[in-house]
Amino acid sequence: MIWIALGLPVLGALLQTFLGPGLQGTAGGKRILGILAVVPIVLSFLIGAKIAMGMDPSAATVVASVPWIDIKGLTIPFELRIDTLSMTMVLIITGIGSLIHLYSTGYMSEEKDYGRFFAYLNLFIASMLMLVLGNNLLLLFVGWEGVGLCSYLLIGFWYEDLANSRAANKAFVVNRIGDWGLTLGLLLIVATVATHSDQHHLSDTRYLSYDTIFPILRDALTHNVPLATTIGLLLFVGACGKSAQFPLYLWLPDAMAGPTPVSALIHAATMVTSGVVLLNRMHVVYEISTIASMVVCLVGAFTAIFAAIIACGQTDIKKVLAFSTVSQLGYMFIACGVGASWAGMFHVTTHAFFKALLFLGAGAVIHAMAHDQDMRNYGNLKKYLPFTFVTMTIAWLAIAGVPLLSGSYSKEEILGAAFENAAATRYGFNAGQYAGYIGLAAALLTAFYMTRLMMLTFFGKERWMATPDGHEVAAIEEGESHEEMPVDEGHEHEEGEEHHHGLTPSHRPHEVPISMWLPLVILAVLSAGGGWYLSQGERFKNWLAAPTASALDTHEAASYLQQIAIGVAIGGIVLGIFLYFRGLPKTKAKEFFLFRMVRGWVGSQFGYDQAMTTMSVEGGSEIATMLDDGVDERLIGGSGVGIGRLTEFVAGVVRVFQTGIVRMYALSMLVGVVGLALIVIYFFKGGHP
């Protein structure tokens, strides 16, 4: 049955590819395509749920298929792995994915390339399933690259827009940097296994399968910790690329250029979780290398606070959520670093609930506001979008860490493990404890910036009728560039920021259709009660016992930590309400109170993105120019010219003797013979070489 679960999204992609061009021209045809897109993912989820309910959590099952690669000395079958880690991801990918597909049928209903969109979306699900279900390193790599390709296609779906194309290219290039680390790490694992294959009597069958290599890897790395550190760090580079950790987070905020359902799918259920799954699957490496665990822990902590600070300065509703995702991923890597892998996966699960809800809710807001994404143009939308408001309120409180909602359970487990565990300790320095303090600070900021988002969007006055200084949006003619607008304190121009201004004072936002708000309701239920259900009786922790067995030696979060976490969440919410309940401050004084001189830096990511872009694009251009002028033209080209001129000189000298007179040739031969005879006499009659 697992093959059917994997094959259904592939079938859906093929159906969309071949039937899409013929059916997407009419509303009825789009409905058929929508059904054909949603049903395969729903069926995959139902099959996955049936398998998960009937499986033994303490054992893994390998499902083999036809031979895939069989060359001399190497056999790699096409086989899948069913264990609690892979099935957790299958349920998240297909469950959340099916809701996002349903939502997309409404959100993309006006899209002319309807079939192409769903073909990419189905293929994305199939690639992610391959990544988590594959039972060997090669299938992992195929799935890994598959989600990279699909993200490129989906982020650049509106490829005629230059910004979208650039965002897709950026995601593709940055992910290739991460893939460099992943590839080297995997090759190093293969080399290590090959080196120790004789002593473990490893045959050439199923050479790269997890159940074959992990025992060898554990034994080999235990006696070679530096090698474990090298492999762990290389794999983490790959995880940084896919899961948008510092310094490779750059592509994720720009990926907001794609359709909102794509953002939801990438951020909540598929691509960004790849790195966390990779580190969980390879946990044997990090258990042996303390240094690699410390690096994972500290980079995750820095990313959590860094992205949270940046989120406070964003005005685009989707970019706030994008940096929120980067920050929350930092928590998951803290968990991996301190040896609480199950807590990281717990946060992956609850984050999928409330982050998908936040993105789809943001899509409903954007849909209602004529695709204007600037929160400064919103206000009082709770009056017009009741379903969206109620559901997003649940997600807001869940991600803020309010007790009894999903986010609080998983986040407290991570912070508790960070403070209590010593897995990332070396020379008396416990990186986990520092990560715990940083995680608490990031939790405060998370509650604050999410409250700011909710206040600016759903409370205060309807600002699309008039901007804070009183200039009416309606005065801006359609198609007029933003640069032609008057600049004022309350409505700043930000370089590179997209403004739509399709709003007029007569604009009346309306709630989205049922195909879009029904997924919001289901996700709201999961965001409210999912964390509580999974934490009862340590249900989720025991569920993941086998794949992360050694990670179970974690300590429970102390009660005082829970109280601190609750206090931090409430503190951030109160601060956000105090500053933004009535909407935008009339002056920037209150915002200056928070950010002062760094406010501009926060909005521009402290200049990091621009610096990296300048260094990589302009710096790369200068290096290419230098190589072209200095190396290619002068060194290589000059060498060729020099050799040609030397050859020409030698040929000119030789040509002097090519007279065509036989007597001259005979004389030359005579001189040569006499000269050779003199040399021979010199060596044999007393001379020395």
Q: Where does the pLDDT of residue 467 fall: very low under 50, low under 70, confident under 90, or very high at 90 and above?
A: low
Distance between CA 347 and CA 367 in Å, rounded?
A: 29
Q: pLDDT by residue (tens digit) across 596-647?
A: 566 677 777 888 888 887 887 677 777 888 887 777 777 777 777 788 888 8
Read off the pLDDT of residues 489-516 as tens digits, 9 standing for 90 and up: 334 444 334 444 467 787 888 888 888 9
Specify the pTM.
0.84
Instruction: Write the burial class of residue 573 (CB in 10 Å: 0-12 exposed, 13-18 middle, 19+ buried).
Output: buried
- The dihedral built from the CA positions of residue 534, 536, 541 and 543, taken in this order, carries a sign that is negative
Q: What tens digit of pLDDT does each residue of 553-587 get?
A: 555 555 677 788 889 999 999 999 998 887 776 65
CA trace torsion 646, 648, 651, 655 (10° rounding): -140
3-state secondary structure of 429: strand
* 92-151 residue pLDDT tens: 999 999 999 999 999 998 888 999 999 999 999 999 999 999 999 999 999 999 999 999
The tens digit of pLDDT for each residue in 308-338 reads 999 988 889 999 999 999 999 999 999 999 9
60 band by pLDDT with thresholds 50, 70 and 90: confident
Tell me the pLDDT of the chain averaged across its residues.
85
Write down the pLDDT at residue 495. Answer: 37
Q: CA distances (Å), 17 to each of 4, 10, 165, in order? A: 20, 11, 22
Q: How far is CA 270 from CA 147, 264, 416, in A?
A: 8, 9, 27
Which pLDDT does position 594 carry in this prediction? 54
Cis peptide before 247, with omega less than 30 degrees from 0? Answer: yes
Between 526 and 341, name the one with better pLDDT.
526
Lowest mean pLDDT among 8-12, 166-170, 185-189, 684-688: 684-688
What percent of the residues of the chain are helix, what percent strand, and what percent coil, each to the nearest 5? 75, 5, 25
pLDDT at 552: 45
pLDDT at 494: 41
**Predicted local confidence at residue 132, as pLDDT:** 95
Query: Residue 454: how many CA atoms within 13 Å on its side-chain side?
Result: 27
Predicted confidence at residue 101, as pLDDT, reads 95
Q: State CA 369 to chain mean position distance.
A: 28
State the pLDDT at residue 659: 72
- pLDDT of 580 reads 86
pLDDT digits (tens, 9 = 90+) for 538-552: 889 888 876 655 544
Confidence class of residue 58 from pLDDT cuts 50, 70 and 90? confident
